Amino acid sequence: MRIRSIEEINKKIENGDVTVLTAEEVSSLVCEGNSPKTEDVDVVTTGTCGIMSGTAAILHVPVADPGAFKKAKNILLNGIPGFPGPCPNEWLGSVDLIIYGTAHSIYDSNYGGGFLFNDIVSGKEIDIELESTDGKIFKTTTNIKDFGTTKMIGTRLAFKNYNSFTNPSDKLVSSIFHAIDMEGPFKGLSVSGCGQLNPLQNDPLMEVICSGSKILLNGSEGIVIGSGTRSSNEKPNLMLTADMKDMNSHYLGGFKTGAGPEIFDSVAAAIPILDQNILEQTFIMNKDITLPVADIRGRHKILGSTNYGEVWDGCDERPVYHPTDCLNCKTCIVHERCPTGAYTDTLNVQKCFGCGMCAYSCPNNAFTMESGCVRFKLDDKFIEMPIICRQSDIKRARELTSELKRKIENGNFILNNCLK
């Protein structure tokens, strides 16, 4: 039985006397033996950050003077193909287009849609190349200030749960589920998901995070459109939208994988505590969340399972760089492998994703990081291996979750009443 309504919570937000906890703060209380009650908390904030392939942008960009061309046939943004339309915008000199976060540049195999979206949100100049339907070529540069529409659409984001991946064979395997071609057999594990912080891990039936709910997508206030593609009761995910002009470039970007560049996003969602059952759904802890271990050669072949406690509990958010141990190798393997381009001759902590590839790759141990290890049973024997790649960033997830908490406490984020 519900003891309060969304309207009552919003009134407390407006009056500045709302009680907000992050999902990790709730889990910590439970771990300490406490059992929070509905009267103790009004809102729980949740969040995640990681590779989210189902990301696209719907843009309206200026290209040339009105009348310069009738319609666009092909268009490139920083060398990345977009899809002109559906509106033809005849003779306007500007173009509607859709561009995918997983698209790759025709000029640079390491540059993809995630890197482009970060450059757009950062306000950088974007190179536009357009071929009109009559074969004319137009080139210009522009930036987000001159764009019209800048809507991001997430067709399937913020999965409740994921698989982790390892390579049981002795052959290299190229996949989006690892930062490089994965070695085997059983050399390590690649993981995704922020465990007890994940939005749908705290609302698995989408009782309150539902169509019409407000969220933060890469720092921009947006809404849940509904369930995402391939969403199911067992593995739900969300379809989201928000304006890129209000986004923070820190929360999105490109991530290089063994199969080419991908995109990462950050999502935060608020859970209004309307009754004790909703609150108790947030009591989940990392060690209680199963993480299947799958064969990277086929994601549906499950080899065993571990849990998110092995992934996040007691592990480092970021690597530590020891420059005195760097031998300045002629070819730096860390520089080549770093998925976000965070390492050149020093570590850019703002670009760092905390994936762990530097600590795994450097032959001179110039990087150290506690990334965790797992042990699971396969047939009649136990397999133990380190976590060598994290495709989710717990640090950014925590930052956005805390940002949402502050917005609610400061009266800058009012909840939508979208419950039936």
Q: How far apart are CA 345 and CA 323, in angstroms?
A: 9
Return the structure tokens found at 386.
């380190």
Q: What pLDDT does 155 receive?
A: 97
How confident is residue 26, by pLDDT bands cut at 50, 70 and 90? very high
The β-bridge relationship of strands 189-191 and 381-390 is parallel
- The per-residue pLDDT of the chain, averaged, comes to 95
Q: What is the pLDDT of residues 95-147, one digit of tens each?
A: 999 999 999 999 999 999 999 999 999 999 999 999 999 999 999 999 999 99
Query: What is the domain partition of the chain in residue ranges?
Result: 62-149
CA distances from 271 to 24, 110, 198, 386, 418 (A): 13, 38, 12, 34, 12
pLDDT, residue 299, reads: 77
SS3 182: strand
Kindly report, residue by residue over 209-246, the tens digit of the pLDDT: 999 999 999 999 999 999 999 999 989 999 999 999 99
| Residue 187 CB contacts under 8 Å (≥ 6 apart), including other chains | 166, 167, 385, 388
Three-state DSSP class for 261? strand
Closest CA to 144 of 74, 71, 62: 62
Confidence of residue 377 (pLDDT cuts 50, 70, 90): confident
In whole angstroms, give the CA distance from residue 112 to residue 55: 12
Distance CA 155, CA 53 (A): 9
Name which of 40-44, 94-98, 371-375 the model is least confident about: 371-375
Q: Is the pLDDT of residue 311 over 80?
A: yes
Taking the CA atoms of the chain, what radius of gyration do you get in angstroms? 23
15 CB contacts (<8 Å, ≥6 apart)?
A: none
280: exposed, middle or buried (Cβ count in 10 Å: 0-12, 13-18, 19+): middle
Indicate the pairing of strand 80-84 with strand 94-100. Answer: antiparallel
Q: Alpha-carbon torsion 97, 99, 105, 111, what sign? A: positive
What tokens appear for 206 in the block? 């989408």
Q: What are phi and psi of 297, to 5 degrees?
A: -80, -10
Question: Please, which residues have CB within 8 angstroms of residue 183's CB and are 6 or more apart in sequence?
Answer: 167, 172
Count Cα neighbours of 252 within 13 Å in the Cβ-side half-sphere. Answer: 37
CA-to-CA separations, 275 to 3, 26, 42, 264, 272, in angstroms, rounded: 6, 15, 10, 34, 9
Whole-number pLDDT of residue 298: 82
> What is the Cα 20 distance to its own chain's centre?
23
Contact 224, 213 (CB under 8 A): yes
- Quote the tokens at residue 389: 């790649």
Residue 69 backbone dihedrals phi, psi, to 5 degrees = -150, 155
Q: Is it the case that residue 390 has pLDDT exceeding 70?
A: yes
Q: What is the pLDDT of residue 354?
A: 97
CB atoms within 10 A of CB 98: 15
**Hey, which bits of 310-415 come out as E strands?**
320-321, 367-368, 373-378, 381-390
Q: Residue 283 contacts by C-beta under 8 Å, 6 or more apart in sequence? A: 26, 27, 30, 35
Residue 399, pLDDT > 90, answer yes
| Position 420 pLDDT exceeds 70 | no
Q: What percent of the chain has pLDDT over 70?
A: 100
Give the separation between CA 21 and CA 270, rounded to whole angstroms: 10
